[in-house]
Structure 1
């Protein structure tokens, strides 16, 4: 019997669009999932009240006994399609499970199944709102999806309901009087693409909300329509004034800057640098460029302003590792600030990642004055030679802002020139305990300023000598940084006494020179090995301790 009220755990309803769809809703085997809308139309409710066979499956449709929703007809597979939850993003995806690939989405908003792509696609409010199945045209049975949540609310609701104990609505065990003959083979899981690769296919996505905007474009929160993964999309569009002069200026200032960002980040791979996914649109006539990056929860700026607690020690150490990696690649970020440090929450605390490489540059190319003035190193502001040490200065100012030393956040609004900034930074570096042990990062002359590797070495040396480290393993021990047990060194070859020189003094001098050269080569190799070891994310960077290496005060 049809209920007049919708089940409270319904995510969306299937509204019939043709006679075959109405027959599906009227079938006695589906009555436990129906409700009546205000306009009198009977619909099928899809949600967590359906007891499907797998945890992340909302419902399966087909003519088989195992289908959650029975759809009669010989042109329908035993399991025709399914609505499933993408595990990480909590978006709903439609899977085509039919043997003949006879499921499709329709409408002006459709992002359909395509040859060469996996047989799954995201369904959302206002995107892929009509589904059809059965027959050559895949439209024997057609439903419209009526959503009861907007996309962001839906994802949050799904996340909450996945953890809840929801009473199921069981399917009645009605015997069928007609068993239609099979004209289509039983269903199989068809999700793989049937062409070589998906690399040549364009990224299909739907924008969920805007994250921010600036001189280098807009950044949106979006979902990949083919994988269901959430991502950040940076959009760059040419100016409305399409004059040649305006376009030339736009290309010089923004287009090539964004292209430089892609060229930089596409070759980077580090746990504390935001992951690059793909980009497209380069060279297109409309000038629209899209860059796809992994989506994070928020920025350091938003985290601090929200009043949330987090480990400043983790922040500092993870960013130092990122800067060491960039310096090793001869890349200067040139715009390190709280807004460009992103984070995700993990079981051990927060994982911070450096993002927005829109103004980065190779060391040999960096000459222009660009970045954010408050965090800009003195040599950058003066237009002088730039090195990776410029990023070290910016990280120090970022830590000062994070701690809000001497009310730095509010005071910075009143700075009128660079001299005001440098005076405040010098005062904080020499008087504030929380940054006193990293004050070598705040030296105005880059020749006397510590490098990222210097700061990392300082931390490693404290570990080697048994001193406390800045990393609190109980709070922020990431899997990539966990300490590995030390191996007992294998015994080396037995020392052989040096044989006396039986030749003249000239030969002895040559031998001495060869030995000195050998020592130099071995020393260089040893230093190179140590440097590579320092930069390795697998090297232990933390230990249980009583306090940080820079003083008695712990960064919380």
Structure 2
């Protein structure tokens, strides 16, 4: 192949590179007559390399080997080495991935002797990424990544890859690629753009160095305290076999870090098209949103059914955490992501979630079961169907939200999901029961269903395969006992609302003004708030004061600056007490009995102001409580 104008790389649109020989064996193979079609010559007609052109859409790969391949590598005896290079019939191949434009080097050899390497005198810096699997031996080659490859025993044939055109989509070619994980010797991906960030970490799009496909990388800020708790919990839950195989639960592909001496951790997930909140923003037709809600409802009930079977409460079901993709026929597939808040029903007690979708029993610190996810899914469906609800859910109190959601459930159009909005969680259907209702009408179920299950200890062993979570022993990650106020205020302090989205979280922290609490109250404020947090790792998480903004129009954009104003709808919740006062909380908290022995909560008539009034009367009796 001559270097004439017909092969000018500037006129082609696809990956094109030269294989330049750097040892004697490679030079002989390059000059072999069987490779004449791929030979690239200089102006004097000398063969200088092999021209690899993958720009033609009809050709997705170039093969190398000793028989019936594009590039011929002889398997001949060498008197100097006293052996043969052990070249297989099909030894290796270069393959372009259409979705990303990345080029993969495949090792098909019998003895696994295809190898990226670093020569004694490299011409420039290049990342060397080794094959990671004995079953799938593929690795990316790109400008500055695996620039040197060897084929055969003892690096018999050695070549340098010199790029003419690189077609990796969405990558800036002017700067060296950033490989990750940053703190690991073995690089796993090429980092792309930041998709979002939050209290516990950031999420990036990346190119998997093994498959050449796009993935999402969730990088935790650190692995200490609460960070360790949420990182370990998410990995442990997502590695359960049933969750890994479920079509509507976001899979974990792999993880890195988390060793005994590591203060970093990352998990790798499939990169979806976006989240449900984003998707609805592209749909001007309300009828279309209603139709889509039917698909979301069934698929998310299927996901919750799997979680219930594994004794997992998600605790943050909402549009941001429902991710979507579609197939070649345009059919939507939704999956549930972000398991950082998920918990076992036996131990779930802390307040967690996002205000518009938070079940009443979570807000009032009642015992939690998988039924809280049923409420949150119902609120999500209402959010999809009702423009009015979407417009007010970020501006009214949690009590008003609960009341409005209950009233909406009484409308005829919501008859088949009405029970999902039952104030008493015992009266809500399980995911399986709700699916039955959708298919067959009403269902007469036992109100104790789900509660009996919540008492069972999980029998599913986490198969962590000595990765990540196995090394991240939680221990006592809570540190000192948590306190939520001194009793000086008539309002309960807000416990932590830990929050992390898989792709684009928007976490903010309330800040104290210069005038402090007195100025705040003088300006009409009526909520408790805390000192501003510093940016960076120290900015999150905290035991108190975290709250979550509702929605912005910039879901996938960069995190906005922290607000300086105290939100009017900051979540307040009944605080947890110390261990010595735990019984007092259960007996005198939000589940307090009326004169007839029934709790306000079970009556479904819980009045927040009435509750506060009665709690004020208890101040002298239990000062540690308020």
What TM-score do the two structures reach when normalised by structure 2? Answer: 0.55
1:234 aligns with 2:218: yes
User: Residues 17-76 of structure 1: CA distance to partner in whole angstroms, max 9, x if unpaired?
Assistant: 647667777777667657899xxx987242143976xxxx51123465x33235578477
Provide the C-alpha distance between the structure 2 equivalents of 1:330 and 1:134, rounded to a whole number of angstroms. Answer: 51
Q: Secondary structure at the match of 2:340?
A: coil
Provide the C-alpha distance between the structure 1 equivalents of 2:225 and 2:235, rounded to a whole number of angstroms. Answer: 16
Structure 2 residue runs of 5 or longer lacking an equivalent are 43-47, 77-83, 119-125, 173-184, 444-448, 454-626
Provide the C-alpha distance between the structure 1 equivalents of 2:34 and 2:13, rounded to a whole number of angstroms. Answer: 20
Match of residue 299 from structure 2: 318
Contact 1:343/1:353, CA 8 A, preserved across alignment: yes
1:271 aligns with 2:282: no
* Pair 33,406 (structure 1): closer, same or farther in 2 beyond 3 Å: same
1:378 aligns with 2:351: no
Alignment of 1:178-189 (within 5 A): none
Provide the C-alpha distance between the structure 2 equivalents of 1:463 and 1:445, rounded to a whole number of angstroms. Answer: 18
Report the alpha carbon displacement of residue 389 of structure 1 after superposing the two structures with TM.
1.5
Q: Relative to structure 2, which stretch is displaced further, 318-327 or 288-297?
A: 288-297
Report the alpha carbon displacement of residue 357 of structure 1 after superposing the two structures with TM.
0.8
33, 52, 56: which one pairs with 1:49? Answer: 56
User: Residues 130-162 of structure 1: CA distance to partner in whole angstroms, max 9, x if unpaired?
Assistant: 3233562345333334542234579xxxxxxxx
Contact 2:63/2:70, CA 8 A, preserved across alignment: yes
Contact 2:416/2:441, CA 8 A, preserved across alignment: no
1:95 aligns with 2:106: yes
Alignment of 1:81-480 (within 5 A): 81-85=92-96, 91-98=102-109, 101-107=112-118, 108-113=126-131, 116=134, 118-133=136-151, 136-138=154-156, 140-152=158-170, 204-228=188-212, 230-238=214-222, 251-267=224-240, 268-269=242-243, 270-307=246-283, 311-346=292-327, 347=329, 349-403=331-385, 405-415=386-396, 417-431=397-411, 434-462=413-441
Provide the C-alpha distance between the structure 1 equivalents of 2:134 and 2:387, rounded to a whole number of angstroms. Answer: 59
Provide the C-alpha distance between the structure 2 equivalents of 1:144 and 1:460, rounded to a whole number of angstroms. Answer: 60
Which structure's relative contact order is higher, taking Cα pairs within 8 Å and 6+ residues apart? 2
Alignment of 1:486-497 (within 5 A): none
Match of residue 181 from structure 2: none
Match of residue 16 from structure 2: 12
Match of residue 61 from structure 2: 58
Contact 2:52/2:62, CA 8 A, preserved across alignment: no
Provide the C-alpha distance between the structure 2 equivalents of 1:271 and 1:73, rounded to a whole number of angstroms. Answer: 46
Match of residue 497 from structure 1: none
* Pair 118,326 (structure 1): closer, same or farther in 2 beyond 3 Å: closer
Contact 2:64/2:72, CA 8 A, preserved across alignment: yes
Larger fraction in helix: 1
Q: Secondary structure at the match of 1:439?
A: helix
Q: Secondary structure at the match of 2:262?
A: coil
Q: Secondary structure at the match of 1:397?
A: helix
Total equivalences in the alignment? 400
Provide the C-alpha distance between the structure 1 equivalents of 2:108 and 2:200, rounded to a whole number of angstroms. Answer: 43
Alignment of 1:17-28 (within 5 A): 18=22
Q: Secondary structure at the match of 1:320?
A: helix
Provide the C-alpha distance between the structure 1 equivalents of 2:335 and 2:401, rounded to a whole number of angstroms. Answer: 26
Q: Secondary structure at the match of 1:311?
A: helix
Alignment of 1:526-545 (within 5 A): none
Provide the C-alpha distance between the structure 1 equivalents of 2:378 and 2:330, rounded to a whole number of angstroms. Answer: 24
Contact 2:14/2:165, CA 8 A, preserved across alignment: no
Provide the C-alpha distance between the structure 2 equivalents of 1:448 and 1:419, rounded to a whole number of angstroms. Answer: 19
Match of residue 612 from structure 2: none
Report the alpha carbon displacement of residue 294 of structure 1 after superposing the two structures with TM.
3.6
Contact 2:202/2:221, CA 8 A, preserved across alignment: no
* Pair 291,329 (structure 1): closer, same or farther in 2 beyond 3 Å: same
Structure 1 residue runs of 5 or longer lacking an equivalent are 155-200, 239-249, 465-523, 529-556
Provide the C-alpha distance between the structure 1 equivalents of 2:58 and 2:309, rounded to a whole number of angstroms. Answer: 54
Contact 1:92/1:122, CA 8 A, preserved across alignment: yes
Contact 2:132/2:210, CA 8 A, preserved across alignment: no
Contact 1:16/1:43, CA 8 A, preserved across alignment: yes
